[in-house]
Amino acid sequence: MELDQIIKGCRKNDRKCQERLYGQFYNYAMTIARRYGGNEETAQEMVNDAFFKAFTKIDQYSGQLPFRQWLRRIVINTAIDRYRSTINQAGTTSLEVWHEQEDLSGIEEQLTYEQIVALLDRLPPAYRAVFNLAVVDGYSHEEVATYLGISIGASKSNLSRARQHLKNMLSNDFEFSKHI
């Protein structure tokens, strides 16, 4: 069955078409949600929420964009909504004194996808959200600030701190592996 036929079926609330769409795009949606979620369970909840939104708003899909991009936007917005709802519940992150780390050029080329996601998981939620939106998904600081309800300065600051956290984690992990 072609994607257009599946979407038409979803517009008619055909459960089999919804299952096919879910199965066809689950891994794609999970990849996006995993970067934002912080763990597998949270990412799974985001994916399920995103597909629920997609199924209930499938009539708004005009076909001008590829479906994949439309779904991507829904998954990212679902992640942002989740971040906003948990921001008040999250504890504050203590600010650390940053110091320059040794040059880590080339290390990122040796990391697997799972290792990169694990590093992102270790970032505080605010840093992770800004890093994903700005670096991975390519949004401007103005867009990030609007999506997350923060100032542009906070977006820039959180991105800088996220990068520093990642450098520190890479340096610590790299140092550990050099001594083994």
Q: What pLDDT score does 170 carry?
A: 83
Q: What pLDDT score does 134 carry?
A: 93
The highest-level CATH class for domain 3-87 is mainly alpha
- Residue ranges of the chain that CATH labels 1.10.10.10: 107-178
User: Model pTM?
Assistant: 0.70
How many whole angstroms separate alpha carbon 165 and alpha carbon 121?
12
Q: What pLDDT score does 74 carry?
A: 97
Chunked into runs of 10 residues, the chain (180 residues) has average pLDDT values of: 93 96 97 90 95 96 94 95 75 40 46 80 90 92 91 93 89 57
> Do residues 104 and 174 make contact, with C-beta atoms less than 8 angstroms apart?
yes
- Residue ranges of the chain that CATH labels 1.10.1740.10: 3-87
The CATH number for 107-178, chosen from 1.20.140.10, 3.20.20.80, 1.10.10.10, 3.40.50.510, is: 1.10.10.10
Q: What pLDDT score does 88 carry?
A: 59
- Please choose, from the candidates 70, 71, 75, the residue with its C-alpha nearest in 3D space to the C-alpha of residue 37: 75
